[in-house]
Structure 1
């Protein structure tokens, strides 16, 4: 036994002083660990208490604001509330006037109407005098052709910068009680830059074979060219071709008049109200036109714009369809409309055809609870909730 102890002491030659030093070091490390742990616990509880204080403060603030709002509403005098109601009514009346102004461009004005494509801010200006347009006509009965010479325009308004003339020949459909017209020809003059008295001096040969002069008229529109937006309509003039004399050149100098519109077709539209989803469904079913001369190998599509309480929603487009006398779409589109019974809504339908350099407007129509021509269709939709109601609407250009 004594030999074993001696061998152990030989392998572990540690003095008592060193042992005590190691023990003291271990105790110091342990105490240091306890101090660090206590500091971390103190920081944790401090952070938690600050979060609770902030939450109580936010809750108290929201309650105070709510109470303050209720007290403010209760403290408002009846006179102030009446003034607020009058201001709200005036805003609604202003909105109705704006929608009526938009409707003016889409409802027929005897004897015809003008396309919304010419709507610009400048078109709302009062223009008592729009200038004059000088042109000549010569009709040949032998060849059934009309020679039109657009000579010049004079005294155009100050805002006119780059004028040109758009020419359309219309022929009324030979149907009783129908205002639909066919577009026989459509062409334009060159654009004259920076001139209020532009000289065009251009000739156009327009064939009138198979058409009766008694139902045909010529429409000349003077417009201001805009490269980045819609062209501004300055004014227009019309000539009934039934008054032309054979082989005699007639020269005209006509004062430009306010724009008008023409019906060139019809579009079948369906409406469905979905009050639970707060949406309306607009369906483009068919489009028919009598303008046989402009039916070519082109595609057409419909664009739907919805205005609710003066706010324009994102427009939607139909797919392309081959152009024909009766073009079938059969497509529906959903638009948000909270509280359809009280929301002021206007639906604008535009038909376009594709051309080499972009698109060309065929015609437009509008309907809604603020329109003169389409409110009957809207009322039928509101009377048959969740059921589609279809009706034909005239297409204007």
Structure 2
């Protein structure tokens, strides 16, 4: 049986001196499209094979990669983050002073001060008198110093919390502190023996026992074009002194140390396709005297990548509780790959909700990332789990 083709099927096309029927021309076009499709498929397969070296695989692209960056900083479901990662051990908390030291200006000195505690009125009075024997840059006109004072309460004594007990068992000199009061002295300029004469006082609550309090006095130099540099500190545990009567003391400045004041649950996720870093701010646990409905917490996230400081991002203001849940994600572009140096800084602040322009008080900071010689454990886990969020607890220090 002979098939009847449409009348146009046997039309002929002349191209470059060659005459081809229409059916052969359509066949050639179909073959070209097929070869193009196979080429694209092979290219995508090669891209997939490039990333198969990661332990947990690549998986599907995260849905967040296709979203608008302005919409990505809103509320995120906590279940989206991998919470299977173990929390930091107590020994790592106690090593924070070794891993998170800031640049210090080594200036020797002697601090004179007086302390008095009135048992009847539960009243602590601290007077900063004078700073002596400073050694470097003390005679220059731009040398400016002040003293920051912190009343630290060891709330871990008697606290029924596993993390506190774990820390106390492994290293007794590591404490979870609660900041009762914070003060700043006046600024003295261009003097090698600055005289302050500032007096500070605070009334302790009934449940706070004075022998669990430590007075921390940190001497800082004001740098106009940078942050305030710590010159040294003096710590005075009240249980080592008889402060029922006013006592005048003088102590040598020691190397400043960080103090543990809370914990932060943080998630990191590297998105190589869009060259972005996802930072998830999940939960904050801060040791406080009491949590009031008029106080709230907020955070500021800063990223410096390859010596380039990106614009900081701020979280929403959340009512303060023992465990404050933020559940927010922030995205920072990583324009230069590979990343040689990246510093992530999360600062936690406290403010009053009722006052529109109330000043923010810094509670503490979390600093992590990598540089040429050091790489944080959280950063290492993130780079081994591309496109998979990795969640860890971090120590909030001040």
Quickly name the TM-score band, shorter chain normalised.
0.5 to 0.7
Measure how far apart 1:222 and its partner are.
Answer: 1.9
Measure how far apart 1:244 and its partner are.
Answer: 2.1
Partner of 1:50: none
Tell me if the contact between 2:305 and 2:339 (Cα under 8 Å) persists in the aligned partners.
no
Partner of 1:180: 176
Partner of 1:30: none
Partner of 1:216: 213
Measure how far apart 1:239 and its partner are.
Answer: 0.5
SS of corresponding position for 1:176: helix
Tell me if the contact between 2:370 and 2:376 (Cα under 8 Å) persists in the aligned partners.
yes
Partner of 2:77: none
Partner of 2:115: 137
* Aligned partner of 1:205 among 187, 191, 201: 201
Q: Is 2:126 the partner of 1:148? A: yes
Distance 1:340 1:388 in 2: 19
Alignment of 1:54-133 (within 5 A): 124-127=104-107, 129=108, 131-133=109-111
Distance 1:206 1:161 in 2: 30
Alignment of 1:183-332 (within 5 A): 183-208=179-204, 209-225=206-222, 230-245=227-242, 247-292=244-289, 297-332=294-329
Aligned length: 284
SS of corresponding position for 2:256: coil
Q: Deviations over 1:177-203 (max 9, x none)?
A: 343210011112223344332222233
Partner of 2:146: 164
Distance 2:367 2:340 in 1: 16
TM (norm. structure 1) is 0.62
Greater C-alpha radius of gyration: 1
Tell me if the contact between 1:134 and 1:251 (Cα under 8 Å) persists in the aligned partners.
yes
Q: Which has the higher helix share?
A: 1
Distance 2:94 2:165 in 1: 20
Gaps of at least 5 residues in structure 2 are 1-91, 157-163, 168-174
Alpha-carbon distance change, 218 to 300 in structure 1, aligned in 2, over 3 angstroms? same
Partner of 1:383: 384
Measure how far apart 1:298 and its partner are.
Answer: 4.1
Tell me if the contact between 2:298 and 2:349 (Cα under 8 Å) persists in the aligned partners.
yes
Tell me if the contact between 1:346 and 1:371 (Cα under 8 Å) persists in the aligned partners.
no
Partner of 2:12: none
Q: Deviations over 1:90-112 (max 9, x none)?
A: xxxxxxxxxxxxxxxxx978796
Tell me if the contact between 1:184 and 1:294 (Cα under 8 Å) persists in the aligned partners.
no
Q: Deviations over 1:125-183 (max 9, x none)?
A: 443x2x21111122233333322222222233415733322110111232313432100
Alpha-carbon distance change, 115 to 161 in structure 1, aligned in 2, over 3 angstroms? farther
Q: Deviations over 1:335-360 (max 9, x none)?
A: 22368776433222112334857543
Alpha-carbon distance change, 295 to 199 in structure 1, aligned in 2, over 3 angstroms? farther
SS of corresponding position for 2:377: helix
